[in-house]
Amino acid sequence: MSECPTRDKLAAFENGELSEHDAEPLERHVAACPPCRRAVELMRAASLDASLLREAWQESVSGSAAAALPDAPADTAVSTDVFAVRPGLAADDEAPLGSADPGEAFWRVPDYERIQLCGEGAYGAVWAVRDRVGVFRALKILDVSRMRQANVGCRESTALETYCRKVGRHPYLIDIYHVGLVGNQLYYTMELADDAETKGPVSGETFPANYRPLTLYSVMRRRLIQPDTAIEIIRRLLRGLARLHRLDLVHRDIKPSNIVFVKHRPKLADIGMVAAGVDGAVVIGTPRYMPPDRVMDRTADTFAMGKVLHNMIAGQHPETFPALPAAFRKDTRKWDMAKINELIVRACAPAADDRYQSAVEMLDDLEACAVFPFGALFDEMDPSNTETVSVRRGAPSSRQIVLALIRAIPWVLAFIALLLVLNRLG
């Protein structure tokens, strides 16, 4: 891109409204063009979401590390707001956050009708809500005053601001729609996960009575996942994680319960621990999916991805981890499982220097594990469509086969041209 984009296009870029195809060259241009970079910085400074977050936490944009709990080691920061799933609690039942005034009097969030409590923690809750136009969303609300009283750090506000400003839209990352502040309560809305019972998105006018969010954890609780499907899920999640890593962001809490399905598409969710420029000094996350050396940089994310893949395929086998048990190393129709085993072993290496240094590096190696060199083409899909990964193994769809054949045309033409050249030379 040689010419500077218009202000409207820069605004669309900053708001995450451009496709990844259009955003990547513009991102490179902004990085190399001081006037455009300054224009984007001014847009960010004027962002209402950013100002709300700064007001809520009374801090600078950069924020600070999360404080350690009293019963945690001094050098270890742990999550202070672990959310437990609470299915089926209707809007007229007990309100979250320990309010002395439960019920509708408690609910002061404008433009959103609360439907059902989906999960709650010490300082907040996640609700299924309906917006003014009737679309169901997930809304997370945090009690800022209680967090201040408990001297809890402002990790989530910093993560929200960083995520909303830098990440934009991506098919395999959760979308944040709105951030707001009502009194001492900070809230934000995001995509609502599919229903675990119907395995499909929540739509229409009626909300499911026994709604539970469909997460990778809820799928894994019922059965092992076929290797082909497990690898495809990880391959897509690595694309989303690669977006974070390219922006020098680290997720720091990748685990099955933080991977949700939205319109059947796997997405990295729970962005409350996302941080920029992490040096690995602050230990935070879920211990089970942390690397043993507790270095919480990009290699911690690749470690967690490797462990999630191992658990999807083999379940819990601590005696063999990180290697796959021998029974799971048989090649599938798409993947060389011996190479997949090597990939998991490297991703989950004890030392950070031995692990994949980024999601991009891990994704490149994963693509190379295909049985057929271009095997990934047979299940590659346009990110803009709604066709997605199923939790069941099945044959390629007609659309996938057509896409693969179309992509093979240049290779066929090149081969024919080569034959013609050789024939003339002969």
Domain map (residue ranges) of the chain: 1-41, 84-212
Helix (H) or strand (E) holding 138: strand 136-143
Position 129 pLDDT exceeds 90? yes
- 132: helix, coil or strand? coil
List the structure tokens of 197: 């019972």
Q: What is the mean pLDDT of residues 350-372?
A: 93
Per CATH, the number for 84-212 is 3.30.200.20
- Please choose, from the candidates 306, 259, 300, the residue with its C-alpha nearest in 3D space to the C-alpha of residue 282: 300
Q: Which residue in 154, 209, 164 sits closest to 190, CA to CA? A: 164
Model confidence band, residue 110 (pLDDT cutoffs 50, 70, 90): confident
Q: Which residue has the higher pLDDT, 162 or 91?
A: 162
Predicted pLDDT at 301? 96
More confident residue, 24 or 125: 125
Q: Flag whether pLDDT at 145 surpasses 70.
A: yes
Q: Place 319 in a pLDDT band, splitting at 50, 70 and 90.
A: confident
CA gap 23, 16 in Å, rounded = 8
pLDDT above 90: percentage of residues in the chain:
36
Query: Which two structure tokens, joined as six digits, stand for 68?
Result: 């350690």
Are 174 and 262 in contact, with CB atoms under 8 Å apart? yes
Position 227 scores a pLDDT of 92
Average model confidence (pLDDT) for the chain?
Answer: 77
Q: Which residues contact 15 (CB under 8 A, 6 or more apart)?
A: 168
